[in-house]
Amino acid sequence: MSQFLYAIKDLKGSCYDRVFSCSHDSDAIRLFDQLVFSPGSPYRDYGEDFVLALLGSFDPSSGSVISLPIKQLTTVMERQVFFEALQRIRQAKVDAAVCDHESSEVSDVQK
Protein backbone atom coordinates (compact mmCIF):
# COMPACT_ATOMS: atom_id res chain seq x y z
CA MET A 1 0.00 0.00 0.00
CA SER A 2 1.38 3.40 -0.97
CA GLN A 3 2.21 5.97 1.62
CA PHE A 4 2.25 9.71 1.14
CA LEU A 5 5.26 11.83 2.04
CA TYR A 6 4.81 14.97 4.11
CA ALA A 7 7.12 17.58 5.57
CA ILE A 8 6.94 20.62 7.76
CA LYS A 9 8.05 23.71 5.87
CA ASP A 10 9.76 26.55 7.66
CA LEU A 11 8.53 29.62 5.79
CA LYS A 12 11.16 31.94 7.23
CA GLY A 13 14.01 29.51 6.62
CA SER A 14 12.59 28.50 3.21
CA CYS A 15 13.33 24.83 3.86
CA TYR A 16 11.52 21.58 4.60
CA ASP A 17 12.13 19.54 7.73
CA ARG A 18 10.76 16.39 9.34
CA VAL A 19 9.87 14.35 6.26
CA PHE A 20 7.52 11.53 7.26
CA SER A 21 5.05 9.14 5.67
CA CYS A 22 1.40 8.46 6.39
CA SER A 23 -1.45 6.65 4.68
CA HIS A 24 -3.80 9.64 4.60
CA ASP A 25 -3.77 13.42 4.95
CA SER A 26 -5.81 13.11 8.15
CA ASP A 27 -3.10 10.92 9.71
CA ALA A 28 -0.43 13.44 8.72
CA ILE A 29 -2.44 16.29 10.24
CA ARG A 30 -2.83 14.32 13.48
CA LEU A 31 0.94 13.73 13.62
CA PHE A 32 1.52 17.41 12.80
CA ASP A 33 -0.75 18.33 15.72
CA GLN A 34 1.28 16.11 18.06
CA LEU A 35 4.54 17.72 16.94
CA VAL A 36 3.14 21.24 17.12
CA PHE A 37 1.40 21.01 20.48
CA SER A 38 4.01 19.05 22.41
CA PRO A 39 5.55 21.06 25.28
CA GLY A 40 8.56 23.11 24.22
CA SER A 41 7.91 22.64 20.52
CA PRO A 42 9.53 25.35 18.35
CA TYR A 43 6.59 24.93 15.97
CA ARG A 44 4.22 26.04 18.71
CA ASP A 45 6.28 29.07 19.70
CA TYR A 46 6.66 30.31 16.12
CA GLY A 47 3.39 29.06 14.64
CA GLU A 48 3.22 31.63 11.88
CA ASP A 49 6.43 30.20 10.40
CA PHE A 50 5.41 26.56 9.79
CA VAL A 51 3.09 24.68 7.44
CA LEU A 52 2.41 21.02 6.73
CA ALA A 53 2.96 20.08 3.09
CA LEU A 54 2.26 17.00 0.98
CA LEU A 55 5.37 16.28 -1.12
CA GLY A 56 4.78 12.98 -2.87
CA SER A 57 4.11 9.30 -2.47
CA PHE A 58 6.20 6.31 -1.50
CA ASP A 59 5.73 2.64 -2.34
CA PRO A 60 7.25 0.65 0.55
CA SER A 61 7.35 -2.60 -1.44
CA SER A 62 9.39 -1.20 -4.35
CA GLY A 63 11.05 1.80 -2.70
CA SER A 64 9.72 4.08 -5.43
CA VAL A 65 9.26 7.72 -4.56
CA ILE A 66 6.96 9.79 -6.73
CA SER A 67 7.06 13.55 -6.55
CA LEU A 68 3.69 15.30 -6.56
CA PRO A 69 2.92 19.00 -6.88
CA ILE A 70 3.60 20.36 -3.39
CA LYS A 71 0.35 21.02 -1.58
CA GLN A 72 0.01 22.97 1.65
CA LEU A 73 -2.41 21.06 3.90
CA THR A 74 -2.57 23.24 6.99
CA THR A 75 -0.66 25.71 9.10
CA VAL A 76 0.15 25.81 12.79
CA MET A 77 -2.04 28.90 13.11
CA GLU A 78 -5.01 27.10 11.51
CA ARG A 79 -4.59 24.17 13.88
CA GLN A 80 -4.37 26.50 16.89
CA VAL A 81 -7.63 28.22 15.84
CA PHE A 82 -9.24 24.79 15.32
CA PHE A 83 -8.22 23.54 18.78
CA GLU A 84 -9.32 26.76 20.47
CA ALA A 85 -12.73 26.47 18.81
CA LEU A 86 -12.94 22.80 19.77
CA GLN A 87 -12.16 23.66 23.40
CA ARG A 88 -14.90 26.33 23.40
CA ILE A 89 -17.40 23.81 22.01
CA ARG A 90 -16.42 21.21 24.61
CA GLN A 91 -16.67 23.77 27.40
CA ALA A 92 -20.09 24.89 26.15
CA LYS A 93 -21.27 21.26 26.27
CA VAL A 94 -19.95 20.88 29.82
CA ASP A 95 -21.59 24.14 30.85
CA ALA A 96 -24.89 23.05 29.28
CA ALA A 97 -24.74 19.67 31.04
CA VAL A 98 -24.04 21.34 34.39
CA CYS A 99 -26.88 23.79 33.80
CA ASP A 100 -29.27 20.94 32.89
CA HIS A 101 -28.19 18.98 35.96
CA GLU A 102 -28.66 21.98 38.25
CA SER A 103 -32.07 22.68 36.69
CA SER A 104 -33.19 19.11 37.30
CA GLU A 105 -32.01 19.29 40.92
CA VAL A 106 -33.98 22.51 41.46
CA SER A 107 -36.97 20.91 39.79
CA ASP A 108 -36.71 17.84 42.07
CA VAL A 109 -36.49 20.04 45.17
CA GLN A 110 -39.58 22.02 44.15
CA LYS A 111 -41.67 18.85 43.78
Three-class secondary structure of residue 29 per DSSP: helix
28 vs 40: CA distance, rounded Å:
20
**How does pLDDT run across 54-84, given as a tens digit for each residue?**
999 999 899 999 999 999 999 988 888 877 8
Q: What is the pLDDT of residue 64?
A: 93
**How does pLDDT run across 12-33, given as a tens digit for each residue?**
989 998 899 999 999 999 999 9
Q: What is the pLDDT of residue 101?
A: 58
Which neighbouring-strand residues pair with 74? 52
Which neighbouring-strand residues pair with 64? 59
Tell me what the mean pLDDT of segment 34-54 comes to: 85
